[in-house]
Amino acid sequence: MTRACLRECVRLLKSRPQSPAMKDTYSPSYLATYRRGLELIRTRYPRFFIHLILVLLLMISIAAVGASVPYLLRQTTNLLVEDSGEAAVGMIYVFATAYAVGWTLSNMMEWGKNLASAYVMARCDAAVYSSIVRRLLRLPYQAQHQLDTGVVMADVNRAMSSFGLINHALFWTITPVVIQLCFVFGILWQVINLTFAAAFILAIVVLFTLTYRIADTTTRIHKRFYQTHTQLSEFLAERLRALYDIKINLAVGHEERKLDQYLSTYVHTVYGTHAKLSGLMGGQVLAVGAVLGGFTLYTVSETLRQRYQVGDFIMITTYVVQLTSPFVMIAAALIDLKKNYVALGDGLRYLDLPTDPQAGADITLDHQQPVFTLREVTLRADDATSAMPLSVEIQSGKMYGVRGPSGSGKSTLLRTLLGLEPQAAGEILFHGISVRHLSPEDILSEVSVVPQAPLIFSGSVRENLLYAHPQPVPDLELLALIKLLDLERIGGETSGEGVLDRDVGVQGRNLSGGEQQRIAIGRALLRGTRTMILDEPTAALDSAREIKLMQALRSRVGTLVVVSHREQVLVLADEFIDVESYKAPILAEQGN
C-alpha cells in the first residue's frame, strides 16, 4: 500500500462531515450527483435503461388512457342531455362503455406500473448498497478504523433507496403529469379553444413553479432532520457496544438521562421540521384550491350562458381535479427529491475513499529469505510514533514471542508486519520483498492471523471454522480439528458430528471466551499457511489447555509470532522481540 494512498484515504475520512456544522459544507450539484449515481447503477444493473424506458412507455399509455376518460364522459353527457333520437342511443352506450373500460384499464395499468417500478427501484437499491458496502470492505485498515459505525449505517441505509426514489419522483411522478398535461392541452384546444387551453396550462405551470420553489426551500430542513437521525444512530451503536461497561459501572440511569436529552432534541427537530413543511404545503394547497375554484366557477358561468355544454363543464372540472390533485403529491415528490439527493450524496462520498491495492499477480516471494526483515523500523500508531527504531529478522521455522507492557505497540507491530499499518520510517521485507510493494492480500495469503478479540459470526461451528475457506473440508478433518482444540463439548454439546452443527448464537454468545478463541485458532489452522501471527491467543484459556494448544501449534505451523503476557506461552519461544525497548531478538534459554 502506498503511503500517499493511505494519507489520501484518511484525509477524505477526516473531511467527511460528522457534525451538523460540517454537514452543510458538502453541496454537490444535483446533476453531478445523479450522473455519478447513474454510472454506479449501470455497472451493477446493466439493463436499467431498457427497463426504465419500458416503464416510461407504460406510463405514457396510462397518461393517454387517463386523459381520454373525461372526454368520453363529456361525450356521454352531451348525448344524454341533447334531444337526440333513437339513433343516438347506441352511441350513448358506446361512449358510456368506453368510459367504463377506459377508467378500469387506466387503474389496472397503474397497478402494473407500480409493480414494474418496484422491481426497478429494488434493483437500484441493491446496486447502490452493494457498491458502497463493497468499497467499505476494501478500504485500508486505517481508513476502516476511522469509520463511525452509527454514521456509516445511517448514511448507507438512506443512500440505498435514494437513487430509486429520485427516478420515481422524476420519471414516475412528475413525467406522467407532464405527459398527461400535453394530452389535456390538445383535447381542450380541440373541444373548447386555444385561449382556454393556454390559460389552463399556464395556471398549471404556475402551480408547478410554486411547488418547485417550496421544495427548493426544504434542503436545509432535511439536512437538520438527517443529522438528528444520525446522532441517534451513533448513540445507539455506541451503547450497544458498551452494554457490559454500562452494567458494571452502574451507569444505566446516566445513560437513560442522556437518552432523554437525545430524544428531546430529536422530538424538537422533527416537530420543527414538519411544522415548516406543513406551512409550506398549506400554502401550496391554497394555491391549488384557488386554481380549482377559479376554473370551476368560470366553467359554471360559461355553461349557464350556454357557451359550453354540460358535458364540457363535467370534462373541464374533471381535468382540473385530475391535474391539480397530483400537485400535492408532486410537492411531496419534489421535497423527497431534494432529500434523496442529499442522501445519495452522503452515500456516494464513501466511493471517493481509496481501496487497498490489488494483490500483485507477478510478485514472486523468495521463501529462502527470512519471513520478515525489519530495518530501522519506526512504528506509527494513529498520530504517534515509536521512540526507537526496531531491527529484527523473523526466520522460518521458529517461534517468536512478542512481549512488552500494555500500550507499547505490540498489536501495532503485528498490523505493520501485515501491511495494515504503515511504518513511520525504515523498511520491512516479507520474504525479501518490501512491504511497500505488496498489498495486505499478498501477505495474508501466506500468513494466518488469530486476532486478540476474534469475531464469531452467527451460525454453526462448522460455518465459523470454514469462514471464507475457498474449498469444502471433509467432516472427518473438521472433527479431528475439534478434538485437537478440545471443542468436543463446545457449548455443552456432546461429542460426535452434532458438534459441527452447534449454533454458536449471535456473535458467538452461546460460547465461552476460550471457545471463541479456539474456534479462531482452528479457522487459522485450516488455512494451512506456513506462518501464523497470534495476538493474545490463549488469554481466556486455563493453563493446561494453553500449553497443550501452543505445543500443537508449534508442531503444525512452521513460523509463529505470538503476542502474549503469559510467561508459560513465552517460555516456548525460540526468540523474543521486546517491543518496549526495541531490542534485537533475544535467544531463549536452551531447554525451553
Q: Please check whether residue 145 is in contact with residue 9, taking contact to mean a CB–CB distance below 8 angstroms.
A: no
Nearest Cα neighbor of 517 from 470, 549, 494, 493 is 549
C-alpha cell at 17: 462531515
C-alpha 370/C-alpha 356 separation (Å) is: 25
**Is the pLDDT assigned to residue 83 strictly greater than 80?**
no
User: Which residues is 576 bridged to in the sheet?
Assistant: 401, 586
Arithmetic mean of pLDDT over the chain: 82
Three-class SS of residue 169? helix
Q: How far is Cα of residue 379 from the mean position of the Cα atoms in its chain?
A: 33
Query: pLDDT value at position 243?
Result: 81
pLDDT digits (tens, 9 = 90+) for 274-322: 787 788 778 877 887 888 788 888 888 888 888 888 888 888 878 777 7
pLDDT in tens, 313-350: 888 878 777 776 666 677 677 777 878 888 898 899 99
Residue 494 has what pLDDT? Answer: 52
Q: Domain spans of the chain?
A: 29-352, 372-456+511-587
Compute the average pLDDT of residues 493-519: 81
Looking at CATH, the fold of the domain delimited by 29-352 is given as ABC transporter transmembrane region fold (1.20.1560)
- β-pairing, 447-450 vs 531-535, is parallel
Q: Dig out the grid coordinates for 336 from the structure.
A: 423527497
* Cα(94)–Cα(76) distance, integer angstroms: 9
- Please write the tens of the pLDDT for every residue from 386-423: 556 788 999 999 999 998 877 778 888 999 999 888 87
Instruction: Give the CA dihedral 146, 225, 326, 179, nearest 10 degrees.
Output: -30
In the three-class reduction of DSSP (H, G, I as helix; E, B as strand; rest coil), residue 373 is classed as strand
Confidence at residue 24, expressed as pLDDT on a 0 to 100 scale? 41
The C-alpha cell at 517 is 478463541
CATH for the 372-456+511-587 domain, from 3.10.110.10, 3.40.50.300, 3.90.1150.10, 3.20.20.70: 3.40.50.300
Kindly tell me if the per-residue pLDDT of 514 is higher than 60.
yes
Whether this prediction's pTM lies above 0.75 is answered by no
- Per cent of the chain over pLDDT 70 is 87
**Residue 459 DSSP SS3:** coil
Cell triple for residue 404? Answer: 512488552
User: What pLDDT band is residue 370 in, cutting at 50, 70 and 90?
Assistant: very high
Strand ranges inside 126-237, DSSP E: none
Q: For residue 448, what pLDDT band results from cuts at 50, 70 and 90? A: very high
The per-residue pLDDT for range 177-195, each reduced to its tens digit, is 788 778 888 888 887 888 8
